[in-house]
Amino acid sequence: MSRAFSPKVVTANHLLDGDAVWLTEDDRWTRDMREAELLDDEAHAQLRLLHAESQPDTVVGAYLADAVSGGSGPEPTHFREAFRTRGPSNYAHGKQESV
């Protein structure tokens, strides 16, 4: 028996700088997961993923990641995705620079 579909966001890596990015409802790529479009319909999620995959000049490695609705927008449900929201793993770059 197949599992019920759980909410997802479309995520990828920005082609030029490698940052984790998320697809918004208005077709922008954002570096803030809270701005991402939370997808609760499996068919729509697959269409949004196809849309992301059709942008190889902007992003690479697009996939659907589990998420939940939070107070400020989608939030990760898995450690990997939580880690990606914090940026590069070395503290001299990106989102972690100000930490």
pLDDT tens sequence across 46-71: 999 999 999 999 999 999 999 999 99
79 band by pLDDT with thresholds 50, 70 and 90: confident
For the chain, what is the total number of helices (H) and then of strands (E)? 2, 5
Average the pLDDT over 75-94 and give the result: 77
Q: What angle do CA 43, 46, 51 make, to 5 degrees?
A: 130
DSSP label at residue 85: H
Q: Which amino acid is at 56?
A: P
- At residue 48, the pLDDT reads 98
* pTM (2 d.p.): 0.84
